[in-house]
Amino acid sequence: MKPPKIGSKIWAIAEGYIPAYSHGPQPEMLSHETASILNTGDDIAEIDLMIYFRDREPAGPFKIIVGARRTLHLRFNDLKDPEVIPIGTDYSSVFISSQPVVIQHTRLDSRQEANALLSTIAYSAPLGL
């Protein structure tokens, strides 16, 4: 069985926030925010990521690569170029990919004694946009 190329080339995550502190062993219990990106196709996906803020112009593009038939669980905490995402700050993100991908948003918040989790499929722009 060979899965087809699945997904969309444009995705958006309206909620973004990296909690400013953590509780528990790191790196796994470090408060973090992730975009999980699945590329089922046979071509490398080259992705431009833009970050939107409340009170300034967008940051980016951040250049992301996801190999053929690979998944990348990208931690926003790890982004460094062209800049770092500030912690404790509201943001949103948009992904423009050269190949169809599937993107899901997850946050682990360990600011209090037991961690909390959230996740949602990201918003995929309809084809033809």
- Between the alpha carbon of residue 19 and those of residues 8, 33, 43, 55, 129, the distances in Å are 29, 8, 35, 19, 33
List beta partners, residue 63. 48
**Binding residues for its own copies, per CB under 8 A?**
1, 3-4, 6-7, 10, 12-17, 20, 24, 28-29, 34, 36-38, 40, 48, 50, 52-55, 57-58, 60-61, 69-73, 88, 90-92, 94, 96, 101-127, 129
Min separation Cβ 76 and its own copies, Å: 14
Min separation Cβ 80 and its own copies, Å: 19
- Tokens found for residue 116: 């909390």
